[in-house]
Amino acid sequence: MSTRLIRKEVDEALWAFVDRQRPGLLAISDELGPMVSALDALLSGGKRLRPAFCYWGWRGAGGPAGAPGIVTAAASLELLQASALIHDDVMDSSDTRRGQPSAHRRFEAMHREQGWPGAAAPFGAGAAILLGDLCLAWSSEMYESAALDAAGLGRGRAVYDLMRTEVMAGQYLDMLEGTRDTGTVETALRVVEYKSAKYTVERPLHLGAALAGGSTEVIESLSAYGRPLGVAFQLRDDVLGVFGDPAETGKPAGDDLREGKRTVLIALTLERADAAAAAAVRRRLGDPALDDAGVAGLRAIIEETGGLAACEAMIDRYAAEAAAALDAAPLTAEAREALGELTIAATARRV
């Protein structure tokens, strides 16, 4: 089964679940309609990488292709991802997500359009936090509804719980990193590992393998592949957050700079910058009013110091490590081929 078809099946399972939930939510009050609309808008985008890694973790561990329920369990990760994105956008004060207004901005706009009393921004943030919480609850509900045996769901549940704990911990570490001026490449990589790398690749692979009853050898081989690939994926996202095309990223150019993201890319730049360049980065990073000229100036420093080249070299090293681990993994040829395609999808995007 191709990765393209997996995406189609994941979309079908995801929308089927949301459509089943919709009447119950609206039965509480039709005023909850905007919540559902905001979720529909968010779920209409995305690469569906986490469900794909989960599915091929299942297949790589010996799970059958036609087993009922695996796509449902994998698709539930999109609701977990929606929760994380909604909350992340609130914390970062992001205006857009996937080329559309972020959830809290949608609710802010609704408040203003209705002419309600009070401030619009707190209402928008509060409504988005609740929507994120709803997505988190629904992710568990969707997972538990998968037509898989109880023993398999139990094994997977332990991975699911760990994954949720790790991403929350990683998000906190990311916030903490943003408050300090003492970050290093090592501390930035720690955030990458827990906020994104494990959550995007390694744990979804583990989830699929656990559901299939995979051996310790298979799970360890999936870690050897998934951990470096997850890091490479996030480093690529960090580069795109500064240099990417908004048509591809779904966010304005340089938004990570305005949000003050203390990424590995920034840490590599500061490590190589002279005093004047480092001072300029620290002064401009995190300025929400940073204009196009300011973004261009920071980009120039990142390139001229060698920060961008160093980050690209790290991406290549981690991707090569993942590819070597995949070649040695005790997986079927079909799973190895599909995971090879996903390796390219996760890391080969260029600015």
Which pLDDT belongs to residue 66?
80
Pick the CATH number of 1-44+68-147 from 1.10.760.10, 1.10.357.10, 3.40.50.300, 1.10.600.10: 1.10.600.10
> At 5, phi and psi to the nearest 5?
-70, -35
Query: pLDDT for 235-257, tens place per residue?
Result: 999 999 899 888 777 777 788 89
3: confidence class by pLDDT, cuts 50, 70, 90: low
Q: Side-chain half-sphere of 78: how many Cα atoms within 13 Å?
A: 28
Domain boundaries, the chain: 1-44+68-147, 151-351
Write the CB contacts of 136 (distance below 8 Å, at least 6 apart in sequence). 79, 80, 83, 164
Place of tokens 């994998």: 74
Q: Is 117 exposed, middle or buried (0-12, 13-18, 19+ CB in 10 A)?
A: exposed
Q: Per residue in 199-226, pLDDT tens?
A: 999 999 999 999 999 999 999 999 999 9
81 beta partners: none
For residue range 7-66, list pLDDT tens digits in order: 999 999 999 999 999 999 999 999 999 999 999 999 998 889 999 999 999 999 999 988
- Closest by CA position to 227, among listed 84, 324, 351: 324
Decide yes or no: CATH 1.10.600.10 for domain 151-351.
yes
Does residue 138 contact residue 21 with C-beta atoms inside 8 Å? yes
List pLDDT tens digits, range 90-117: 998 888 898 899 999 999 999 999 999 9
Rounded Cα gap, residues 178 and 28, in angstroms: 40
